[in-house]
Amino acid sequence: MVPELGQFALILSFCLCVLLGTLPLVGAGTGNQLWISLARPLTAGVFVFLSLCLLILGYSFVTDDFSVAFVAQHSNTLLPLQYKITAVWGGHEGSFLFWTWMLAGWMLAVSIFSKTMPDDFVARVLGIMGLIGAGYTLFMIATSNPFDRVLPLSPADGADLNSALQDFGFIIHPPSLYMGYVGFSVVFAFAIAALLSGRLDSAWARWSRPWANAAWAILTIGIALGSWWAYYELGWGGWWAWDPVENPPMINWLLGTALIHSLAVTEKRGVFKSWTVLLAIMAFAASLLGTFITRSGLLTSVHAFASDPTRGVYILGFLGFVIGGSLLLFALRAPLMKSEFGFEAVSREVFLLANNIILVVASAAILLGTLYPMVYQAVSGGELISVGPPYFNMIFVPLMGILVLFMVIGSISRWKKTSVAYLKKQLMIVAVASVALGLVLPLALTMEFHYGASIATALGLWIVLGIVQDIRIKIANKGSVLVGLRSLATSYIGMQIAHFGFAVILLGAALTSIYSIEKSVLLSPGERVELGRYVFQFDGTEHLSGPNFEAERATFQVFREGEFQRELHPEKRVYVASMSPSTEMAIDAGFTRDLFITLGEERESGAWSMSIYIKPLVRWVWLGAILMSLGGIVAVLDKRYRRLKVRTLQKAEADKSGKPAGDDYQPVSG
């Protein structure tokens, strides 16, 4: 009975989405105040009923209702409670419901935190999100209903959640990734609402920016959590593999990064309007494409859901409809998107444009590599190929290098016009210092020259010293340093934290790739193996019983230069219900290096195969992502986004009449 209630709530949410996607939009078009005012209550309704769906599905999991097909496929009576709850997003149907609920969550947030915007604009934004929600809920009802039943012959027990998913990472990675992903539909809705209403002004950019920054910050964390989880769960010591399903979030992240910078220019200078709108459409399209790639089953990957062609066709149709419609509207409204001010060839605008082009090119190249196997298969008549990490690294690494160069120049240069002499004067010392330290530091620490490590160190320091220099310039005439630092705008501080985070990621990613060492060996109990400055002693294994698994737990003693450091305990588990094996790594995490042991299999002789890794600075990759995300959140908290409606409107009018917006603030840019 309860699952039928869920089914009913799902259909009801679809109906409410359809209402939300029509009445307020028509109302905003015709000036019907009653219909405009329906937007917020309808949004609340959609959220309530989708929440109900989610709760009911969760209830079915917790009560082991295996008559629900989705529960039977992804749960088991032995499954620990936290995984029963999170198994809701452990498969296609449930994760799509969760995804749609996230959309409803963002809609609710927009309806609450939009008091400073005119009602008709909010009605349009919510209406467009309602249309997207209608597409998602219809998709579920038509092709992937999580409440489908197996009746009358319900299985006595479930098939269990995939053992690789029974981990803490699974509890936090999908929610944050989905939340970031879906967040870009808010920015998309803002862009379409602006196109519909014809008000593509600084006010629109200012309203969009906190949402874009928030979605971007959450997506950053989501991707980083995925990388961290893959690192400690998948067992090959890697933190990024250019897997076909890792790539779409990365594409989205790159487009999102371009978008938040382009929005900054649009808000500050009233230029790049059409570009910003296009980026908002592209970022949303990328999120749909990611959904398509993951759920159509066209690509082999660790993440792939069960393949079902009808789902792929539906998503592709929806993608075509949304993107086609948006681009048509974009073309019709193109005359509205005139730039309000000009700028010179050397100015912050131009450097930000360069940054945008690099980011878009990088995402296009990743898209090409991701889709190429599919296209090749179609063109060659079924021949299968794969595109490996070398391709992605060859494209991505140099592009990011160039991006870093522009990043510092862009944030130190001024709007409208900057003299080359000024840039030279401010940046020469930064350039010299970073190149010199880049050459010396890796050499001094490792006693060996490596050109990649030197370039990476120089680029990382270029960012860090560039930030220091920029802040120094900003506070130069403020009396004391403390007064100067206090006077910096919140969003400026956010931007510099994020840029610093990028430097940390760059250093971590590059140096851990260069300096990691590993060894695969076969060891009998009592044997030792040496790696780098460490010695690992294998003391054998013991049997262990978990709640729903049986395990062999190994003991290692780690010595560094003869001195005992600590014990490490990697495990080999077999989950009882599915009989699927799973390797639990043992990791000694550290700020400067990770020690990492993964068990292979036991031989008849009692020896175990195993891999041991030493990975310097690998934590910096995620630390940097946390800093970037923090920077995004700090920027969202800037008070100026919460000004009263009246003032925003006055400002918008002032912008139209030719006065540049807010020169007193430092924008999030670079």
Partner 1 sequence: MKPHRRKKLTIIAFIATGLSVAIGLSLYALSNSIDLFFTPTQVAAGEVTNGQRIRVGGMVKEGSVVRSQDSLHVEFMATDYSHDLLIRYDGILPDLFREGQGVVAEGMMANGSFEASRVLAKHDENYMSVEVKAALDAAERDRALPPAETEGAADGS
Binding site for partner 1 (CB under 8 A): 73, 91-92, 159, 162, 164, 235, 297-302, 304-307, 342, 345, 353, 357-358, 361, 364-365, 368-369, 372-373, 376, 382-388, 390-391, 394-395, 399, 520-522, 578, 580-583, 598, 600-601, 603-605, 607, 609-611
DSSP conformation letters of 458-490? HHHHHHHHHHHHHHHHHTTTSSSHHHHHHHS-H
What is the nearest approach in angstroms of partner 1 to the Cβ of residue 637? 34
CA distances from 423 to 144, 318, 347, 418 (A): 56, 47, 10, 8
Smaller CB distance to partner 1: residue 48 or 354?
A: 354
Which is nearer to partner 1, 527 or 588 (by Cβ)? 527
Handedness of CA 291, 296, 302, 303 (dihedral sign): positive
Question: Would you say 110 or 610 has its CB closer to partner 1?
Answer: 610
d(CA 418, CA 343) in angstroms, rounded, equals 10
**Of 547 and 606, CB closest to partner 1:** 606
Q: Which is nearer to partner 1, 356 or 411 (CB)?
A: 356
What is the rounded distance in angstroms from the CA atom of residue 35 to the CA atom of residue 25? 8
Q: Tokens at residue 165, please?
A: 């998913």
Give the contacts of 624 (CB within 8 A, at least 6 positions apart): 501, 502, 503, 504, 505, 506, 507, 508
Cβ at position 645, least distance to partner 1 in Å = 34
- Min CB(549)–partner 1 separation in Å: 13
Give me 292's structure tokens: 């398509």
The two three-digit tokens of residue 545, written as one number: 């019983």
* Tokens 């989205």, located at residue: 252
Beta bridge partners of 149: 68
- Which of 385/644 has CB closer to partner 1? 385
Nearer to partner 1, 364 or 468 (CB): 364
CB 196 → partner 1: shortest distance, Å?
26
**Radius of gyration (C-alpha) of the chain in whole angstroms:** 27
Q: Is 359 helix (H, G, I), strand (E, B) or coil?
A: helix
What end-to-end distance do the CA atoms of the chain give, in Å?
Answer: 56
Chain-centre distance for alpha carbon 452 = 27
Burial call 87-104: b when 16+ CB within 10 Å, e when fewer: bbbbbbbbbbbbbbbbbb
Question: Cβ 621 to partner 1, closest distance in Å?
Answer: 22
Q: How far is the CB of 650 from partner 1 (least distance, A)?
A: 29
- 253/393 Cα distance (integer angstroms): 17
Instruction: In angstroms, give the least distance from the CB of 133 to partner 1.
Output: 26
Smallest distance, partner 1 to C-beta of residue 3, A: 21
Q: How far is the CB of 253 from partner 1 (least distance, A)?
A: 18
Q: Taking the complex as a whole, how short is the minimal distance between the CB of residue 143 and partner 1, in angstroms?
A: 15
Beta bridge partners, 545, equal 550
Query: Closer CB to partner 1, residue 387 or residue 488?
Result: 387
Our CB check for partner 1 shows the closer of 141 and 522 to be 522
Shortest approach of partner 1 to residue 364 CB, angstroms? Answer: 7
Residues in the chain: 670
For partner 1, which is the closer residue by CB, 15 or 521? 521
Give the number of other CB atoms < 10 A from CB of residue 664.
7
DSSP code string of 486-546: HHS-HHHHHHHHHHHHHHHHHHHHHHHHHH-EEEEEEE-TT-EEEETTEEEEEEEEEEEE-
**Closest approach of partner 1 to the CB of residue 333, in Å:** 19
- CB closer to partner 1 out of 419 and 524: 524
Nearest approach, Cβ of 388 to partner 1 (angstroms)? 5
Shortest distance, position 434 Cβ to partner 1, whole Å: 25
Rank residues 164 and 471 by Cβ distance to partner 1 and give the closer one: 164
Task: Specify the 3-state DSSP secondary structure of 241.
Answer: coil
Report the C-alpha gap between 269 and 267 in whole angstroms.
6
Burial group, residue 547, by CB count within 10 angstroms (0-12, 13-18, 19+): exposed
Name residue, tokens 């790539």. Answer: 247
Q: Which is nearer to partner 1, 327 or 368 (CB)?
A: 368
Which is nearer to partner 1, 199 or 303 (by Cβ)?
303
Which of these, 163, 76, 79, lies nearest to 582 by C-alpha position?
A: 163
- 558 in helix, strand or coil? strand
Residues linked to residue 552 through DSSP beta bridges, in sequence order: 543, 572
Q: Is 587 helix (H, G, I), strand (E, B) or coil?
A: strand
